[in-house]
Amino acid sequence: MTAAPDLPTVTEGATALSISGLTKRFGATLALDEASLAVRPGTVHALLGGNGSGKSTSIKVLAAVHQADAGQLTVGGREYDLRSFDSVDARAAGLRFVHQDLGLFDGLSIAENFALDAGFPLQAGTRIRWAHLHERVTSVLDSYELHVDPRTPINELRPADRTMVAIARALQDADTSADGESLILVLDEPTASLAQHESALLLARIRRLADQGQTVVLVSHRMSEVLSVADDFTIFRDGRTVATLVDASPTEDELVELMAGRAVDALRPVAASSAADELRLEVRGLVSGPLAGIDLQARRGEIVGVAGLVGSGRSSLLRTIFGDLSPRAGTMSINGRPHVPRDVAGAMRDGVALVPEDRGREAAFADLTIADNLSMTRLRTYWSWRGMNARAEQDVSRRLISDFRVKASGPAAPFTSMSGGNQQKVILARWLQRDPAVLLLDEPTQGVDVMSRVDIYRTVREAARRGTAVLVASSDASELLALCDRIVIIREGRVDEDLDAETLDPDDLTRKLLRATSVRQEDETA
Ligand SMILES: Nc1ncnc2c1ncn2[C@@H]1O[C@H](COP(=O)(O)OP(=O)(O)OP(=O)(O)O)[C@@H](O)[C@H]1O
């Protein structure tokens, strides 16, 4: 067990931003309860907390998406009442936000994306001065060491560059804003969908921003990354600030303990293989999307990781098995019988379940309750000649909410009233209760806090023990190693390596993944 760090450390000296008494209620839920935050200028300040602890709500108050019930903000010596703080105030205060979805238009160029935010420079009131725009954007990109042509379409950029373009766009008026004061950049999980080497590149650039005097508030669930880049840490629990660590070097266990409010010894995953000899899933010569002939097998009770760089076809593999993409060639079988799904319903009849990466958009019924979302795949269980057994549905939902540690006011609450991480847990719970023959998980713990991540690994392991074969696509090397028995690496559309997870560590896996990438990428990562 680790000793709890001293709580909380008082910040002295100058602050770029300070919040006090921040309170926000949603109906019966007290999302923020007199929370506080003090950020020193020129630092990376990590804002940490479990799912539902209030991080997004506080950011949404700063971005004027929500108005607080109480709270004061001081920025650059000016005080604001957070009950009436609006987006004009937020901009004037020098606050700039980059949300997880980045808000970039993929088909447009970098320069066009910049101009959509700041306006197109015009000549004679009508003609766009393209040369001027490109010159200005190039100079901003250069200042963030992004040496790319401003005419490049967003969808041709590597993932870390895309995030960096969103950051550069948010800071494009850094020289002219807020009376020359530096801006405060708020980043909400910027690395959530990035592979380890892309994250490393982005974090190095974020660190450089702070070293050049920018102030960065960073929300992330990836502890090792936060520890590598942050100077100061504020930890939220149940809407309150439970600790502020200034210029500190806490251990991961100390941070997790502060977030969880309990010791962390019991939180380590236990990964004992339950693989049997019997084949559950067999894929031969599969050609689909970028896949050019995949051969893959998963046995009963086996958890197989699918690794590969962005664009390698990990998601296409899962979607093809789930009947959502039609293969151009190849065969699939489940339990020795041909698996030729014409659509998703056909794949489900064969015993396949998929938890997709973009759960919010693809997997959730946002307008319905949590109970409805949980029971969506098992509705038949609750119907009889007497009609719908709502009590049984509520009871099962209550048990799942408790088993998966979902933080919600109850099964009847709207799905959208939960925090992002809790929504992820509900979708996972929905599919795991089906005992599928083959379970396909795409980035299963993206946005999920470190405490719940271990619960989810245990649940997946338990499903495997009951006989399910699991395929996990993940960009997080540590996750693949914690969860899987075997890891296949997809490269150039084929399974290039098939590795025993026990023999690897995250660095080995990342090195193997990067083997075939361009020299440019390796240079930048170094
Ligand atoms: N629009 C809303 N309506 C009702 N309740 C809400 C709403 N938004 C947030 N909440 C509640 O407020 C609390 C804090 O949620 P918030 O989204 O701020 O958490 P978070 O720390 O960002 O979590 P995560 O890590 O999962 O993103 C949760 O209990 C959540 O259910």
Residues with Cβ < 8 Å from 307, sequence gap 6 or more?
314, 473, 474, 477, 480, 487, 488, 489, 490, 509, 513
Read off the tokens for 478: 């540590």
Q: What is the pLDDT of residue 274?
A: 75
Q: What is the pLDDT of residue 363?
A: 60
For ligand 1, residues with CB inside 6 Å are: 26, 29, 31, 49, 51-57, 407, 417-422, 449
First vs last Cα of the chain: how many Å apart? 35
- Whole-number Å distance, alpha carbon 57 to ligand 1 midpoint, is 6
Read off the tokens for 222: 């990836």
Q: Ligand 1: which residue has its CA nearest to atom 6?
A: 417
CA–CA–CA angle 288, 293, 297 (5° rounding): 100
What is the secondary structure of 112-142 as a DSSP string? HHHHHHH---EETTTEE-HHHHHHHHHHHHH
What is the secondary structure of 302-332 as a DSSP string? -EEEEE--TTSSHHHHHHHHTTSS--SEEEE
User: What does the alpha-carbon distance between residue 468 and residue 301 come to, in Å, rounded to a whole number?
Assistant: 5
Report the run of H or E that residue 430 belongs to, with start and end. helix 420-432
Q: What is the mean pLDDT of each run of 10 residues along the chain (526 residues)?
A: 41 81 93 96 95 93 95 93 95 88 87 82 72 87 84 86 87 59 85 78 88 91 91 96 94 90 61 79 95 95 90 89 95 96 92 80 72 68 55 73 80 84 82 85 86 84 92 90 93 91 83 60 39
ipTM attached to this prediction: 0.97
What does CATH list as the number for 279-525? Answer: 3.40.50.300
* CATH assignment of 1-94+184-191+199-265, among 2.70.150.10, 3.40.50.300, 1.20.1260.10, 3.40.1360.10: 3.40.50.300
Q: Where are the domains of the chain?
A: 1-94+184-191+199-265, 102-176, 279-525
- Whole-number Å distance, alpha carbon 419 to ligand 1 midpoint, is 4
Q: What is the pLDDT of residue 355?
A: 86
Beta strand pairing call for 184-188 and 215-219 = parallel
Residues with Cβ < 8 Å from 175, sequence gap 6 or more?
none
Same fold, 1-94+184-191+199-265 and 279-525: yes
